[in-house]
Structure 1
Amino acid sequence: MDLNVEGTSARIPPGSHICQLYNKVDEIRNVTARLLLTGLNGSERCLFAGTPASVREIEDALDKMGAEVEALKESGQLIMQTDREPFLVGKRFDPYHLLSTHNTFIAQAHRDGWRGVRISIDMTWLTRDVATPEQILKYEAASDAVFTFQNAPIIALMHYDYSKLPGALVVELLKLHPIAVVGKYIKRNPYYLNSEQYLLKILRANRERTNTGARAVGDDAAHRR
């Protein structure tokens, strides 16, 4: 099975866009190693990006599962990344640049003969001090549109330390993922809004704010007269 959390398993189809909310770093290892191993055994190219400590833990877990980690890395099938720079633009987080790196990764893997790709990124590590909540949500909404609705040959697992996020951002993140891993549970998200619905929601909210601002300006001008 693709996902295994505390003995609970789930099959994840291509195009899946998964969110893991964690507050202990070892929760990343336990979920990601199994996801990557399934992809490696299925002739898929796999990438994990996170802290050096997380990379070591996942490599150790893969080794214990029987994967020949060094050989897989040498062949280019397994990529372990501890440098944030390739995912950023001049030390800035650009949601569309990050999405383009995924599309490039998919295209190159296809040219190299792999059946698909799996990407797992510790987003708390990647976005620390360089991204706003709005930028993170733009990335997640765009990813949902590209991966889920185009049935792209990718399974993407993004990790967020919920103890370091505003509560409102956690709620919005859940809305953008059809599948979430929270603690010991794999959840099919009943609050999921697809990217089209979510973007319409944002447009309505922006329109309401604009109208409210315009009314306030008009009231102020009338008061001054």
Structure 2
Amino acid sequence: MVEGDRTSGAASRDRSARPAADDWGASAVTTAIVDRLQPGDHVCWAFHDDEERLRTTLRFVAGGITTGEKVLCLTEDPTPEALRAVLEARGVDVTAAVARGQVRFRDARGSSPDTGVFDPVSMLDDWRRELGRARAEGYASLRAITDMAWLARPVSVTGIRRLAWYEAQANRMFADGYATVVCLYDRRLFTAGDLRGIASAHPGTAFTPGDESWRPQLRILRTDDPLGLRLVGASDLSTREALTAVLAGAAEDLPGCGAPLTVDVTGLTFADAAAVHALVRTAQTASAGLRIVGASSLMAKLIHLAGGCDTRGMTVETTADGPSPSTAREHTV
């Protein structure tokens, strides 16, 4: 764990206690993908059929019970009661977990169960309440899985236009490294174009069948010391909306107390032009400026070309091979 990361509580959980790979009929690929998820991950899981959705939910919920996390499961079809019964029939002891308050099943339609109209602002507020509730109950982390199928229905046509915005904004909450969130999208209900936009609002996308080497394309985590963000993975079209939303909200979400915001890109293997421009815009709105740490020489040049040289208070620390912060050279761009 990187010093200053906000994931210390979640990292203390015993991940070696996970169930065996073939428990509950989960495939090797599903098992590998679910077990690689970490607090702070927000994943769009695009599935093909009901059995795949069930296997994913089984593995995700059972893993959370085993590791002692708070588990939230949002579903509509099957109903929360029916899904709970199926999990029990597959050998997952949810009855005891529900009784002690560790696991909760809820209607996926969230704040508007009567009309089925998607209200993204209310849904974001709902997430804040769930995160606060899990913390108040003393859990080190929250694990949540939600089926988004109801948003593909005609009654939600207006709301679905804001779905990608909602998913992107949710990353601002999840970047604190407390929650692991999987959003289930049925590929039979959403168009390819809709799914591309929705996937871009998530730092990670799992299109199964995949392979056992899968990892989220990008991880975005807040840090306390120094105050800012740490980026790991690749930032391109597939994660563009997710990163843009977090960076655009950084000045509001991370009040700097007079110090520049720090974005550690040491673990960033690729950043496209849109990511670079988003960093420059963040520097322009941060009252105390922006400090980029661990950039490659190429990334520093791209920042310069994107207008970083004209942005007051923006600095880039870089070495030829994208170094650790302790060996970085500082440049004001």
**Same fold by TM (over 0.5)?**
yes
The answer to whether 1:140 aligns with 2:138 is no
The 1:198–1:105 alpha-carbon spacing in structure 2 relative to 1, beyond 3 Å, is closer
2:74 to 44, 49, 54: 49
Q: Find the counterpart in structure 2 of residue 76 from structure 1.
A: 101
1:193 aligns with 2:240: yes
Is contact 1:50-1:125 (8 Å) kept?
A: no
**By how many angstroms is 1:132 displaced?**
3.1
- How many aligned positions are there? 198
Residue 83 to residue 7, structure 1, CA distance change in 2 (3 Å): closer
Say which SS state the counterpart of residue 192 (structure 1) adopts: helix
Contact 2:118/2:160 (8 A) holds in 1: no
- The correspondence of residues 128-207 of structure 1 with structure 2, limited to 5 A, is 128=153, 129-130=155-156, 131-148=158-175, 150-151=176-177, 153-185=178-210, 186=214, 188-189=216-217, 191-193=238-240, 195-197=242-244
Match in the other structure for 1:6? 27
1:81 shift after superposition: 2.0
8 Å contact from structure 1 (residues 120, 158) kept in 2: yes
3-state SS of 1:193 partner: helix
Counterparts of 1:57 and 1:81, CA distance in 2: 10
Counterpart CA distance in 2 for 1:164 and 1:126 is: 9
TM-score, normalising length: structure 1: 0.74
| CA RMSD between the two structures | 3.0
| Larger RCO of the pair (alpha carbons < 8 Å, separation 6+) | 1
Counterpart residue type for residue 157 of structure 1: V
Q: State the SS of the aligned residue for 2:188.
A: helix
- Asked whether the equivalents of residues 32 and 58 of structure 1 are also in contact (C-alpha less than 8 Å), the reply is no
**Structure 1 residues 53-72: aligned runs within 5 Å:** 53=78, 55=80, 56-57=82-83, 59-61=85-87, 64-65=90-91, 67-72=92-97
Distance 1:155 1:59 in 2: 24
- The residue type paired with residue 30 of structure 1 is R
- List gaps (5 residues or longer) in structure 2: 1-14, 218-233, 249-273, 278-333
TM (norm. structure 2) is: 0.52
Aligned in 2, Cα 1:81/1:89: closer, same or farther, shift over 3 Å?
Answer: closer
Counterpart Cα distance in 2 of 1:28 and 1:63: 16
Measure the CA separation in 2 of the matches of 1:173 and 1:51.
20
Cα 1:69–1:188 shift into 2, 3 Å: closer
Bigger mean CA offset, 190-199 vs 106-115? 190-199
Aligned to 1:121: 146
- The separation in 2 between residues aligned to 1:34 and 1:83, in whole angstroms, is 19
Q: Which residue of 1 aligns with 2:52?
A: 27
Letter in 1 for 2:28: G
Return the alpha-carbon distance in structure 2 between the equivalents of residues 181 and 81 of structure 1. Answer: 23
Q: Which has the higher helix share?
A: 1
Q: Percent identity?
A: 18
Tell me the SS of whatever aligns to 1:81.
Answer: strand
Whole-angstrom distance in 2 between the partners of 1:32 and 1:127: 20
Unaligned 5+ runs, structure 1? 205-225
Aligned partner of 1:215 in structure 2 is none
